[in-house]
Amino acid sequence: MKKTLFAIALATVGVATVPAVFAQSAPTQTAQQGWYVGAQAGYGEVNNGRYDNQGNYIGGINGGYRFAINPEASVGVEAGYQYLGAVDAKGANDSSSDRARLHGPTLGANLRWNFNPDWYAEVRAGAFYAEGQGLTNAYDGSYARFERVRPYAGVGVGYNINQHFSVGVNYNYYDGSSRGGNQGVQLDTNAVTVAAEYRF
């Protein structure tokens, strides 16, 4: 009888501890879901053509919606606008006439992974409606304006201050070429920015 009671007590303790064990092993929900808006500011440098290695201050805004796909990761769809600066051609004598500019709206997606409640990493990619102007890379070096859909992509890391606010550092690459080859205006830009985000 004692053995039976002991077995029943042991089984009861075991059943009672199962939920606690599963609760401890279940991952904590850190993935973010919902609407968000953000802003970025930093430095962009052209890495091609007549403006190679020339840079300036840049900035942008974005907003969208994230969907949690597992306890740690979420996928977002976002739209934004990026101003990628005004740069002078290398060795330009009259900088005002040789200055290049690049800006335009973006539409893309991002994947954010919260590797703990405080820190996250993300990748992003999408389409950039490049509105640019500058000297072409052709022999005559004429000045031209263009509007063209080009790709962009980037990575970032950041810190969640609380459930609504986060700050981070991003690197993005924007294809700012006016056409294929290397004869048009070449404003491909490497952008390094600090970012702030608010989640509703």
DSSP string, 77-128: EEEEEEEEEEEPPTT-SSHHHH-EEEEEEEEEEEEEEESSSSEEEEEEEEEE
Q: Which residues contact 81 (CB under 8 A, 6 or more apart)?
A: 60, 61, 62, 103, 104, 105, 106
CA angle, corner 122, sides to 121 and 125, nearest 5?
A: 165
Three-state DSSP class for residue 176: coil
Instruction: State the average pLDDT over residues 144-164.
Output: 95
Q: What is the pLDDT of residues 93-111, one digit of tens each?
A: 555 668 999 999 999 999 9
Q: Where are the domains positioned within the chain?
A: 36-102
First to last CA, the chain: 61
pLDDT of residue 26: 52
DSSP state of 51: G
pTM for this one? Answer: 0.81
Both tokens assigned to 193: 């920015």
- What number of residues does the chain have? 200
Average pLDDT over residues 136-144: 80
| Phi, psi angle pair for 89, to nearest 5° | -65, 150
pLDDT over 70, % of the chain? 81
26-77 tens-digit pLDDT: 557 788 899 999 999 999 999 888 899 999 999 999 999 999 999 999 999 9
d(CA 195, CA 112): 14
